[in-house]
Amino acid sequence: MSAAPQKTKAGAEKIDVTVSAVVPLNELVTRFEFRRTDGRPFPPFSAGAHTVVEMNDDGRTRLNPYSLMSDPADTSTYAISVRRDDQGRGGSLYLHTHVGVGDRLTLSYPVNLFPLDLRGRKHVFLAGGIGITPFMAMIAHLDRMGGAWELHYACRSKALGTYAEDLMQAHPTRAHVYYDDQNQRIALEDLLDGQPLGTHVYVCGPKGMIDWVHTTAAAHGWPDENVHSEEFLAPQPGTPFEVYLSRSDITIQVGESESLLEAIERCGVDAPFLCRGGACGQCETDVVEAEGTFEHRDHWLDDDEHASGKKIMPCVSRFDGKKLVLDR
């Protein structure tokens, strides 16, 4: 129709925030709390949602997604908990080493790719390490709404058990913590066996844990729709490569520690995105021509699409070869 046509920038609707607290939780994890710079309340969000944090790292824009872990009903504050990744491309390191109280950042509106199934009569949460963060918001939400839940949380050690002590203290019968260094393991099969009809299971953690939960639940006859997972993929560094963007008619270089999407943005080409983690499908891009090998790392395209060489998700996937032309 284009009644009143408007070009809205991809990834528009951002929120300017000021860091209101920086709370180191242990050797690796720090919580960052934000207030809106304009003093207004934040929009409410649904438990499980993430925000994309925009950082200006010495002229270079970094965009990293983090689960919102504050109470969704508290519109005065948004909080994220960030695990320092010394091997990563630097977003978490930047937050840990450069961002302090009073600093300004930009957040995207919340996006939820890991929502609660509101039909659930009971919710069982399985967390591994920093995967605890979305469950912090879910627990706050269910406590307010009177929902039934239990948490099983595996972490490396007491010292690295982010929020583990707090959770056990606040919810002694519902929160269960397992320490790897004490050889404690989640008894998943027993756990899945004893659940009432209408229970939903949610897992957030390393890929191995997610696969383990899906496989075990399926083997125990759980319907797929009742098992939910979220794995944030961080773009991995890789060999630099060159891409020709046919619609924009420019050739760009993708550096070792930036994603293809970041390189496209750096060169001033407007590209859609949402999760920046290979899950939402928003940045799907058509391949016009390719001589080489794709390194597909997304969850969005199916195996056939990966094999076809006709599509790529530039937020996490890369390319190794002589020539790549994208419709962008």
Partner 1 sequence: MTIQFNEETFRDDYSFRNSDWAIRRFPFPFHEDSYMYSVNMEQHQGGPEESVYEKRFDVDEHYVAEMQDRALVLAEDPLRCQSLPHMTLAGWDTLELIMVSKSEDSPDLFELHRDGDRWRWINKPMGIDHTFTFLDETTLPCGPLEYITRQAQGDFAVLDQRGDMLYMDAGMVTTQADWSLDFDIGMDFFEWHAPVPLANEMGIFKRALKFLLNVRQGSPARRLNWTMTVNPLLDTSPENYHKWGVQKSSLTPANIGAKQHLRVELQTFYRLPRSNGLLFPIRCYLIAFQDLVTIPKWGRRLHRVVRDLPEELADYKGFIANRPLMLDYLGQYDDGLPTSPGVWPDLETEPPLQT
Q: What x/- string results for residues 91 through 120 when contact with partner 1 is judged by CB under 8 A? A: ------------------xxxx--x-xxx-
Q: Are strands 122-128 and 199-204 parallel, antiparallel or unpaired?
A: parallel
Q: Which one of 4, 87, 100, 183 is in contact with partner 1 (CB under 8 A)?
A: 4
Which among 209, 214, 168 has a CA at the least distance from the CA of 186? 209
Nearest approach in angstroms of CB 328 to partner 1 is 18
Nearest approach in angstroms of CB 49 to partner 1 is 7
The answer to whether residues 125 and 150 touch, using CB atoms and an 8 Å cutoff, is: yes
The answer to whether residues 136 and 47 touch, using CB atoms and an 8 Å cutoff, is: no
Give, as ranges, the residues between 140 and 169 that touch partner 1 (CB under 8 A).
Answer: 145
197 binds partner 1 (CB under 8 A): no
Nearest approach in angstroms of CB 4 to partner 1 is 4
Q: Which is nearer to partner 1, 155 or 204 (CB)?
A: 204
Task: Report how far residue 191's alpha carbon sits from residue 40's, in angstroms, rounded to the nearest whole number.
Answer: 43
Write out the two tokens for 81: 């908990």
Give, as ranges, the residues between 208 and 227 that touch partner 1 (CB under 8 A).
Answer: 225
Write the DSSP string, 289-301: EEEEEEE---SSS
Q: Which one of 206, 281, 288, 309 is in contact with partner 1 (CB under 8 A)?
A: 281
The C-alpha angle with vertex 70 and arms to 67 and 76, in degrees rounded to 5, equals 120
Q: Which is nearer to partner 1, 180 or 284 (CB)?
A: 284
Give me the half-sphere count of Cα atoms (radius 13 Å) on the Cβ side of residue 168.
11
Binding segment for partner 1 (CB under 8 A), chosen from 4-12, 151-159, 233-241, 259-267, is 4-12
Q: Which is nearer to partner 1, 107 or 167 (CB)?
A: 107
198 binds partner 1 (CB under 8 A): no
**Cβ atoms < 10 Å from Cβ of 9:** 9
Task: Report how far residue 124's alpha carbon sits from residue 232's, in angstroms, rounded to the nearest whole number.
Answer: 20
Nearest approach in angstroms of CB 132 to partner 1 is 20
Which among 139, 124, 134 has a CA at the least distance from the CA of 213? 124
What residues make contact with partner 1 under the rule CB under 8 A?
Answer: 1-6, 8, 12-13, 43-46, 48-49, 72, 109-112, 115, 117-119, 145, 225, 274, 280-282
